[in-house]
Amino acid sequence: MEAAAKCPKTSRKIFRDKGYRPEQVFSMDETGLFWKKMPSWTYLMKDKARASSFKAQTDRVTLIMCGNAASFMLKPCLIHKAANPRALKNKNNGLLPVFWMHNPKAWITKVLTDHWFIQSVIPQGRQYLNDLDLEFKVLLIMDNAGGHHVDLYYDRVQVKFLPDSTTYGPGRDPCASRYFTPGTPSSTF
């Protein structure tokens, strides 16, 4: 919690010393979405809720969202298992409303983080700031997840990683993790 207390002071110092405007400060985070998965619990009795040959779907996608402090959102990034899924056969992925990437497990990796940074953040950020007649100078704030490339570099772009204790989620926040851990009283019926 000490790192979380220092974070706002550190951020204000960076904004003041480097002269960032809200339009130049971007924050990125990703989330996994099991878009075909059924709920893990139901109000029916457990033995009645399952069919004998039922196998749960676990199709996963990862969604990356990035926006700035002035409420501008970059085009979302979607990581799917397939480079060209059957549903998008003969379609141009560049025309989709998302920046499309693929990985066999649909997870973010260091290579995909680098690709997203160079192919999505830089051009969109440059265009956005150019449209506002602001200089291209960007502060990108990211959590320090294992799939993030820590050596992201581009001229006039500073990447700042949040300390471990300031990012929350299952397994990181003891209060929240008990709601997501299988076998705990709050996650079973």
13: number of CA atoms within 13 Å, CB side?
A: 6
d(CA 57, CA 102): 19
What is the amino acid identity at position 129? L
Measured between alpha carbons, how far is residue 70 from residues 11, 27, 67, 161 in Å? 16, 11, 8, 20
d(CA 185, CA 83): 40
Model pLDDT, residue 171 = 40
Q: What are phi and psi of 86, to 5 degrees?
A: -55, -40
d(CA 102, CA 79): 5
The structure tokens 């990703």 sit at 30
Longest Cα pair distance anywhere in the chain, in angstroms?
A: 63
Model pLDDT, residue 25 = 93
Model pLDDT, residue 174 = 38
The structure tokens 């619990």 sit at 41
Model pLDDT, residue 37 = 66
Q: Is the pLDDT of residue 81 over 60?
A: yes
pLDDT in tens, 114-132: 999 999 999 999 999 999 9
Q: Residue 60's beta-bridge partner residues?
A: 34
Nearest to 30 by CA among 117, 119, 91: 117
pTM of the model: 0.73
Model pLDDT, residue 79 = 92
| Residues contacting residue 79 through CB under 8 Å, at least 6 positions apart | 61, 62, 63, 64, 101, 102, 103, 106, 107, 108, 112
Measured between alpha carbons, how far is residue 87 from residues 14, 63, 82, 92, 184 in Å? 45, 18, 11, 12, 38
pLDDT in tens, 10-38: 777 777 788 899 999 999 998 888 777 66
Model pLDDT, residue 186 = 38
